[in-house]
Amino acid sequence: MAHPQPKQHDLDLGGEPFCVFEWGQSGGQQILLVHATGFHARCWDAVVRLLPNDWHIFAVDMRGHGRSTNAGPLTWHQFGSDLLNVCAQLNIKDAIGVGHSMGGHCIVHACGYKPQLFRQLVLVDPVILSPELYQNRDRHQYEQVDDHPVARRRSHFASVAEMHGRYAERMPYQLWQPEIFRDYCEYGLLPAASGEGLELACPAKVEAAIYMGNFDADLYELIPTINTPTVVLRARPRAPGGVEMDFSASPTWPELAQQFPHGQDVLLPELTHFIPMQDPGLVADFIREGVAAG
């Protein structure tokens, strides 16, 4: 039996709105899903459909994304702090924490400060880079947000169908399962401020700022203290000197899992960084294994 449409909750975090979607009922096994940069909570729908109906599942629109606030600061340390506040409002405890890309970074941040939140972490290519890179605060090749290629991304569309038709056959979207790309388009657009058409819920300049702000949070002091069992799923590594925005391969440090006291590394060379979009069943399997192991 498929899950019904989720309930939408609008949380107030210090006067700023945060949107959370909820499936299932209180009392079931909690699952917390956190999306990647430029994505949104409903990109997890295909994974949710593969999980038991009696589990209690939450997916968060992070700051700058979906139906949550676009206010700054748009730094990854702030995102981690936001997630801790969201968990407090949702009464998260003993959950399976699942994060893709930037979302995986946030899950680790939250677990490092509040280990009781999670019984298992499933980090899906979490964009936690090699330790030495965090020492180079000027490592970006762009001086300001407007210089970043993502800042020039098209942001306005007449309809969901227009966005879908423009990108469906382009890389990397052509590798995704079609239903997930439809969800990405449908829930990733909001009515335009001009009153005409639709615009990206994660505006292009916001997304660019997030990419440029991802080195403010070094997790390597927290990771050795995290005793929660942790699975790191990752695509094949980027080649040395690879392009920063090339997501056909993994930006995650290959030795990351070894830094967790109870880490497991799972290399998936046949997949790209967009693991949940290509194989939601694989991600759902690891979530179920996390529940069973508990």
Q: What is the pLDDT of residues 81-138, one digit of tens each?
A: 999 999 999 999 999 999 999 999 999 999 999 999 999 999 999 999 888 877 765 5
**Model pLDDT for residues 154-173, shown as the tens digit of each residue:** 999 999 999 999 999 999 99
Given a cut of 60, whether residue 185 has pLDDT beyond it is: yes
φ and ψ of 75, to 5 deg: -110, 155
**Model pLDDT for residues 260-272, shown as the tens digit of each residue:** 999 999 999 999 9
**Model pLDDT for residues 209-267, shown as the tens digit of each residue:** 888 777 667 899 999 999 999 999 999 988 776 556 677 899 999 999 999 999 999 99
Residue 19: Cβ within 10 Å count? 21
φ and ψ of 66, to 5 deg: 55, -125
Given a cut of 70, whether residue 4 has pLDDT beyond it is: yes
Between CA 172 and CA 112 the distance in angstroms is 32
Report which secondary-structure segment, H or E, holds 267: strand 263-267
Cα Rg of the chain (Å, integer): 18
Yes or no: say if 28 and 90 are a contact pair by the CB < 8 Å rule.
no
Yes or no: say if 37 and 101 are a contact pair by the CB < 8 Å rule.
yes
Percentage above 70 pLDDT, the chain: 94
Yes or no: say if 124 and 276 are a contact pair by the CB < 8 Å rule.
yes
**Model pLDDT for residues 191-217, shown as the tens digit of each residue:** 999 999 999 999 999 998 888 777 667
CA dihedral 128, 63, 280, 57 (to 10 degrees): 110
For 138, residues 6+ apart whose C-beta sits below 8 A from its C-beta are none
Tokens read off for 189:
């657009």
SS3 content of the chain, % helix, strand, coil (to 5): 35, 20, 45
Domain ranges of the chain: 7-134+214-293
The architecture of the domain spanning 7-134+214-293 is 3-Layer(aba) Sandwich (3.40)
Q: What is the pTM of this model?
A: 0.95
Q: 125: left (phi > 0), else alpha (psi -120 to 50), else beta?
A: left
φ and ψ of 68, to 5 deg: -95, 175
Q: Considering only CA atoms, which of 274, 273, 254 is closest in space to residue 265?
A: 254
Residue 140: Cβ within 10 Å count? 16
Between CA 54 and CA 210 the distance in angstroms is 35
Yes or no: say if 253 and 130 are a contact pair by the CB < 8 Å rule.
yes
The average confidence (pLDDT) of the chain is: 92
Instruction: Identify the pLDDT of residue 52.
Output: 95
